Structure 1
Amino acid sequence: MTGTTVNTVLGPVPADQLGVVSVHEALLSVVPGAEHAFDVVIDRAEIFETLAAKLTAFREHGGGTIVDSTGMFHGRDVRLYEALSAKTGVHIVASTGMGPEEMLGGYFLTPQTNPPTPWPAEKFADLFAKEVTEGMVVPRVERRAAAGLVVTAATREGMTATDESLFRGAARAALATGVPVSIRCGDLGVVLDEGLPADRVVVGELDRRDAKPFEAARHGAFVALDHVGLNDDDAYLDDEERVALVLGLIEAGHGHQILLSSNAVGVAKGHPEHDLPFEFVLRTFAPRLPAAHTRQILVDNPRTLLSKEN
């Protein structure tokens, strides 16, 4: 990994300094528009103290890096993340990107064309790539730290034309900038069709019962089991089944592609919290895995995914 770095909110960090990485979490998650609701309070000082305590606990249990995979317009607060990283010593990798279609604002859904058409992939690619090369936008026009990941998701019931445009734009941005892409739902083949190598893609939600983790692994993508600790939703495997899936992937030769996280939400506004500690995987789940593979899964694999050449 010599010569590789990872974009964090405090600037590029040598990849070998990331330590244990939790690859799909949310620090501050705000449903778009909820900040304007009469019953939603956005107290930045309170949010800072809550997140600082949670990140400190993560660090004290051996954690090194949190990846905030919320993308644009869902509460991402770059200034807040900079202050949290400086306070706690935890590296924070923030992300660009958006999706699925139902979560996009009308600006991206109804361009002034007749008839209306989705934003073209190249416009999404330019938007996301600039957040990597020029810094993430802080409303209204200021740019700050560079994004370290492009995230997008497709409509669960089936990809729409806008979802496909998002996937293609995310892949093109990744090709142009060297950062990886995280996709949820949708078709892995769409991003691969853009020429993005499979080992620059992480496919999320592969611990759903209807997911196909071995298929994604055979294509060469990273396999994210990203709801560890969720044991009361019939749509997902429980943790006992997740352990069995990890062991099966290792036995099939895919140990170098496994990623784990909890989809934990540090502070949620406008939707229920998934209030697991950020260290849940490290403290509770990882000890159930073969010791010979825990470092690879928690340290080596996410480092490989997030790294980009200087």
Structure 2
Amino acid sequence: MSGPGPAVRTVTGDVAPSALGVCDAHDHLFLRSPRLPGQELDSVRAAAAELAAFREAGGRSVVQWTPHGMGRRAAELPALARAADLRVVAATGLHQAVHYDEDDLAALRARGLAALFVRELTDGIADSGVRAGLIKVAGGFHSLDAHARWTMTAAAEAHHATGAPVAVHLELGTGAQDVLDLLCADLEVPPAKVIFGHLNRFPDLEVHLRAAAAGAYLAFDGPSRAHHATDWRMPEAVRTLTEAGHGSQLLLGGDTTTSAARSVHEGPGMPHLLRGVRPRLERAVGKDLVDRMLTANPAAAFAVEWPV
């Protein structure tokens, strides 16, 4: 895509927001962390099969929230997207400190984190030529430690330079107000450019309503993971938020983070979002709203007036 106007930055180039179609707004094709030993998502073949299964279920785009240093395999993403005939969006950013070696973090401090984020958004990830379309950062459990404040400060700087949305991992769904206070009030990132992940894992509707009233997007993600105790509360939360006027701010994602959770390894995986979660939500809140959560809402959430 060329010319002025909002675009979603995918691994195969910028596209009109409407080109996303049915979107898994938070998932992972590749992921590696010392916190998940033996469960790495690092197989190109398995990623290709998972994308094909999602495409067969009706999916048309996937947003990978895997940030810097966690095995993104950015160079593999364009071929995978083309083979599956899907749009794929990659992320820059940084997760919690526990996912990294201290020497790697020290090197990032020396290089300048915001500059890295901007470079991956505008020039490409390493030498892959693949540009990221969002910034992923993370809070802690009911808190923001020094690492989270450092990464969010860098994310805000990168947002101001590029317009990229900032996607936030909320640990067990907590800390949304702390993030709003830092990222939006102090660092002046517009709330409409902030996407909260995992807020559904802390099913306090007052917290959900406050985050939505501030203007942020809420990603109801992770139902493809095994037995989250709060999954059954999702329809109630979606209904309450919609009745309060926030239906245009809700997203859906699978957040497949382990090899065993993939559909190609007999887990629910990406297709579960459309084959399991979608019909359940449609019965509870109606097809029109769920269609909006899967199409129009992610198109708006990830659209950017990119400077370059």
Measured against the shorter chain, the TM-score band is: 0.7 to 0.9
| Paired residue type of 1:167 | M
- Partner of residue 49, structure 2: 53
Q: Alpha carbon RMSD of aligned pairs, Å?
A: 2.8
Once the two structures are superposed, residues 87-125 of structure 1 have per-residue CA deviations (whole angstroms, 9 ceiling, x without a partner) of 1111110100112122233236547xxxxxx949x9321
What is the distance in 2 between the residues matched to 1:41 and 1:196?
33
2:150 aligns with: 165
1:284 matched to 2:305? The reply is: no
Aligned length: 286
Task: Pick the aligned partner of 2:211 from 213, 216, 227.
Answer: 216
Q: 1:120-161: CA deviations, max 9, x gaps? A: 9x9321111110011012xxxx24211001001122252111
What amino acid sits opposite 2:212 in the alignment?
A
CA separation of 1:105 and 1:274: change in aligned 2, threshold 3 A: farther
Task: Look up the equivalent residue of 2:202 and give its one-letter code.
Answer: R
Larger strand fraction of residues: 1
Q: Which has the higher helix share?
A: 2
8 A Cα contact 1:152 1:182, kept in partner:
yes
Q: Say if 2:194 is the partner of 1:196.
A: no
CA distance in 2, matches of 1:200, 1:54: 29
- Residue in structure 2 matched with residue 115 of structure 1 by the alignment: none
CA–CA separation in structure 2 for the residues paired with 1:40 and 1:22: 21
SS of alignment partner, residue 145 of structure 1:
coil
Q: Which runs of 4+ in 1 moved over 6 A?
A: 39-42
Paired residue for 2:163? 178
Superposed CA deviations along residues 224-244 of structure 1, whole A, max 9, x for unmatched, are 11122446244xx12x31111
Quote the Cα distance in structure 1 between the aligned partners of 2:300 and 2:210: 20
Matched, 1:4 2:6: yes
Separation in structure 2 between the aligned mates of residue 15 and residue 28 of structure 1, nearest angstrom: 24
1:261 alignment partner, one of 253, 266, 275: 253
Change over 3 Å in CA distance of 1:245–1:41 after alignment to 2 = closer
Q: Structure 2 stretches of 5 or more lacking a match?
A: none
Is the contact made by 1:51 and 1:266 (CA closer than 8 Å) also made in structure 2? no
Residue 248 in 1 paired to residue 243 in 2? no
Shift in alpha-carbon separation, 1:53–1:176, aligned structure 2, 3 A:
same
Closer, same or farther: CA 40–6 of 1 in aligned 2, 3 Å: closer
Given that 1:109 and 1:162 are in contact with CA atoms closer than 8 Å, whether structure 2 keeps it comes out as no
- Cα distance 1:157–1:309, how it changes in 2: closer, same or farther (>3 A)? closer
Report if the CA contact (8 A) 2:224-2:270 is conserved: no
Map 1:81-96 → 2, pairs under 5 A: 81-96=77-92
- 3-state SS of paired residue (1:27): coil
**Distance in 2, Cα, partners of 1:300 & 1:68:** 18
The 1:268–1:169 alpha-carbon spacing in structure 2 relative to 1, beyond 3 Å, is farther
Q: Quote the Cα distance in structure 2 between the aligned partners of 1:230 and 1:84.
A: 23
1:144-159 paired onto structure 2 within 5 Å: 144-156=129-141, 158-159=143-144
Aligned to 2:296: 300
Amino acid of the structure 1 residue aligned with 2:13: G
Change (3 A) 1:177 1:252: same
CA shift in 2, pair 1:108/1:214, >3 Å: farther
Number of the residue aligned with 1:70: 66
CA distance in 1, matches of 2:69, 2:192: 27
Look up the equivalent residue of 2:79 and give its one-letter code: A
Q: How far apart, CA to CA, are the structure 2 residues paired with 1:231 and 1:104?
A: 25
How far apart, CA to CA, are the structure 1 residues paired with 2:249 and 2:106? 38
Tell whether the 8 Å contact from 1:65 to 1:90 is kept in structure 2 after alignment: yes
In the alignment, which residue of structure 1 is the partner of 2:26? 24
Equivalent position amino acid for 1:198 in 2: P
C-alpha distance in 2 between matches for 1:61 and 1:162: 39
In the alignment, structure 1 segments of 5+ residues that lack a partner are 112-117
The DSSP-based 3-state class of the residue aligned with 1:162 is helix
1:129 aligns with 2:129: no
Contact 1:32 1:74 (8 Å CA) reproduced: no
Secondary structure in 2 matching 1:73? coil
Equivalent position SS for 1:70? coil
SS of alignment partner, residue 29 of structure 1: coil
Which TM-score applies when normalising by structure 2? 0.84
